[in-house]
Structure 1
């Protein structure tokens, strides 16, 4: 069986990677931090920024077809091995943490059906029973991926179609129940005591909107397995536009069905509560089943992406060579084992500390911001350095500005915590340098490592003191 992926499989991978749990909780997540006006502006910024990022990927696929490492391959080509490694490490860790969040939300959703006021089996997805069931799912998917990328891609294609059905039903029902007065009442949140300014509200929507778009680069990451480079670019744009339409519709229509203050108090997945109010108990069942299928499919997609990252990075000399080995089905088995084991360990940690979906959302979003920024930065470097067209210069500049804006909007506290998670990766980098027979660091790399160490030290201090910046 061929391991080459066509346009349909690549588009399904992009959509499957982006649509997971987030879309089902978007109404409450957004209502909790912003008014309808701020949410509308936030989506406009995010949509524009993500389109620029997708166009950046498309341009780089055409301009630099020899680079197969995707997100981190571009970082390496533009800014050297150390930056390329950290981009790969951040991307891989983001994918791994995202997978843990999917496990948590799957079993949290099952709690809607089985938990009662006197009996808690699944809880918030972090009970002992939930962890045990999540562990079984980890190793079932592990076994599936070992059978080959093409087999996993077929399963992902089916789950992607299945997950879209409840979302489309929700949009249609909410469209008929939409009230303009409900949507525009206190449009900017000005009448709510203590409400943040419109600008602050917009900033607070950024991590949420980035979270649901993580995966837009899915086709790029597996570009070495695509039948055509042109299909990679087309799948990226097509997948983005479909998801953008779905996200905006789910969020804004919900704010016209339920008032924002009331929506902010809903339990997640908030789409289930909204649909229940509109069509009865069947709404909860539809969203619950849809979410479980959706998240299971997203978990599979992100296992593919997370596994592909160390494998591709190893082939490009950024990860230890052992992660570049494949089995008879073409699956990078050492990379898959590393990913599955780390997911399992993270699951145990979440159980120990009692963390939940929102904590994992923040971590995964933070880890992806720097790799996204570096992609825009690389195209801008190429565009201006090689005198490319004004269109390419504009796209690269806008994508880079959007990346900087995301870092600013996320806040210094989250950035420091993300820096702390980059530090363990230095061990892997040192192994790579030893394999290459390299010794010592350049002045630039010393500055990068010193800055990272300082940021990590500050993060540890803030954690110990319980201070939030």
Structure 2
């Protein structure tokens, strides 16, 4: 795998299993599927219910959030053309701001990945239990959740080809019914179901901001193609295209799908349901079979999302470990897959799942909110890195291009700050503590190398 480095002095230590001439790689379809699969998990199936309290005005918030997400996608695409190799936000932050910024980015993103996997699989269990364990016995719920974590891990450990095939297949199986609801479903929309345009009881801007705080987090994962860039064929071309295409595809499904649900399920009923797309499908076709089909799509969606994120939880720390900014154990591979990163992170996610089912729901909720905070920090560093590069080393003679690129970067940076504010005071407070918990590890890594400051070797 190509190594992302922060400058001419940086070198990567030998990697276990590096006797292969080059890593297994995948093309644009799989890279796009990785983005879509990582962004669209189980959360989209409950999103309309969360937005129903604000009314149709939340669609305005969704459009504004989509603009910010596209700005981030274009930023990641531009950065991937300039800096090759896996690592995504980590290598971008390290290139612009040095080792410490790179380490904090990798640390935050790693926490996001395994804590986020725990959240995804807990939501996945709810849809599985539509068919089995309908009485929600805790022991069986835990067993289903652990299976939902370790099946994607085994798929990844079996090789990149198997991961690519299952990722594409899962994206197709979940994207088709969602796209159907986002297109054909519009025919069945009734204006009477929408309710008041602003149902929040607050000002227009207050409602948009509050709804945006929910919608902001639906795009986490748009950077995954850049994180796995070392696995992508022709990354300078395909990572950028996959990121933008994937984000646009997700935006279409999100906005039009939410519009369909708003228009087919009465607002009062939508606020109370836990499966809005299921209710919308039942309202369109009648009976229960359509809703059960959507539940199956939700299960497939969750598994596909977990398969993509399971690769990412190994790729990010592996890229940092190559630059001696993460423990060297993360360099261990099996069949050219970062096995130690995948296994250790899945163990952590499994422990978090068990905690969530043993009367510590509040602890779990807090940790999930922390994962949101830790996801946004790498976005902020990436947008700042692109803006820094443009202002210092950009194409100064080509002012129209420079102004355009700077505008996109500023939008991405503003989007990141908005996401931080939307995560809430408690998440930011504990998130900063979680962020700084990585400092002792950074000190240990630097001391073990006999370094001081930003020296690299």
Contact 1:101 1:361 survives alignment (8 Å): yes
Contact 2:369 2:423 survives alignment (8 Å): no
* Cα distance change on mapping 1:161 and 1:67 into 2, 3 Å: closer
* 2:163 paired with 1:152: yes
How far, CA to CA, are the matches of 1:294 and 1:323 in structure 2?
A: 28
How far, CA to CA, are the matches of 1:403 and 1:165 in structure 2?
A: 30
Give a deviation string over 1:406-464, Cα, whole Å, max 9, x none: 2223333221121232233234323321332125x68xxxxxxxxxxxxxxxxxxxxxx
1:405 corresponding residue in structure 2 = 418
2:219 corresponding residue in structure 1 = 213
* 2:197 paired with 1:187: yes
Contact 1:149 1:304 survives alignment (8 Å): no
Deviation at 1:181, TM superposition (A): 4.2
The TM-score with structure 2 as length reference comes to: 0.87
2:99 to 64, 72, 81: 81
1:376 to 383, 386, 389: 383
How far, CA to CA, are the matches of 2:180 and 2:366 in structure 1?
A: 29
Deviation at 1:29, TM superposition (A): 1.3
Give a deviation string over 1:65-90, Cα, whole Å, max 9, x none: 34642111111122222221111111
Residue ranges of structure 2 left out of the alignment (5+ in a row): 1-21, 396-401
Aligned residue runs from structure 1 range 312-327, under 5 A? 312-327=319-334
1:452 corresponding residue in structure 2 = none
1:432 to 445, 448, 452: 445
Give a deviation string over 1:167-221, Cα, whole Å, max 9, x none: 12323453122123433x42122xx6xx233222222223432322111011100
How far, CA to CA, are the matches of 1:153 and 1:41 in structure 2?
A: 35
Contact 1:26 1:250 survives alignment (8 Å): no
How far, CA to CA, are the matches of 2:260 and 2:168 in structure 1?
A: 27
How far, CA to CA, are the matches of 1:412 and 1:360 in structure 2?
A: 14
1:22 corresponding residue in structure 2 = 43
User: 290-299 vs 145-154, which deviates more?
Assistant: 145-154
1:47 corresponding residue in structure 2 = 66
How far, CA to CA, are the matches of 1:11 and 1:148 in structure 2?
A: 19
2:267 corresponding residue in structure 1 = 260
* Cα distance change on mapping 1:198 and 1:413 into 2, 3 Å: farther
Tell me the SS of whatever aligns to 2:131. helix
Contact 1:23 1:250 survives alignment (8 Å): no
Aligned residue runs from structure 1 range 411-450, under 5 A? 411-439=424-452
User: 234-243 vs 396-405, which deviates more?
Assistant: 396-405
How far, CA to CA, are the matches of 2:220 and 2:155 in structure 1?
A: 23
How far, CA to CA, are the matches of 1:396 and 1:239 in structure 2?
A: 19
How far, CA to CA, are the matches of 1:313 and 1:149 in structure 2?
A: 20
How far, CA to CA, are the matches of 2:80 and 2:133 in structure 1?
A: 48
2:317 corresponding residue in structure 1 = 310
Contact 2:182 2:252 survives alignment (8 Å): no
The TM-score with structure 1 as length reference comes to: 0.85
Contact 1:373 1:403 survives alignment (8 Å): yes
2:361 corresponding residue in structure 1 = 355
Give me the CA root mean square deviation.
2.2
* Cα distance change on mapping 1:144 and 1:49 into 2, 3 Å: same
1:463 corresponding residue in structure 2 = none
- Equivalent pairs, count: 424
2:336 corresponding residue in structure 1 = 330
2:13 corresponding residue in structure 1 = none
How far, CA to CA, are the matches of 1:114 and 1:6 in structure 2?
A: 37
Aligned residue runs from structure 1 range 116-265, under 5 A? 119-121=135-137, 127-172=138-183, 174-183=185-194, 185-189=195-199, 195-229=201-235, 230-265=237-272
Contact 1:12 1:239 survives alignment (8 Å): yes
Deviation at 1:15, TM superposition (A): 0.6
User: 7-16 vs 197-206, which deviates more?
Assistant: 197-206
* 2:56 paired with 1:36: yes
Deviation at 1:2, TM superposition (A): 6.4
* Cα distance change on mapping 1:115 and 1:245 into 2, 3 Å: same
Give a deviation string over 1:371-423, Cα, whole Å, max 9, x none: 11111111110011114322222211221122122222333322112123223
How far, CA to CA, are the matches of 1:253 and 1:141 in structure 2?
A: 31
Contact 1:68 1:312 survives alignment (8 Å): yes
1:459 corresponding residue in structure 2 = none
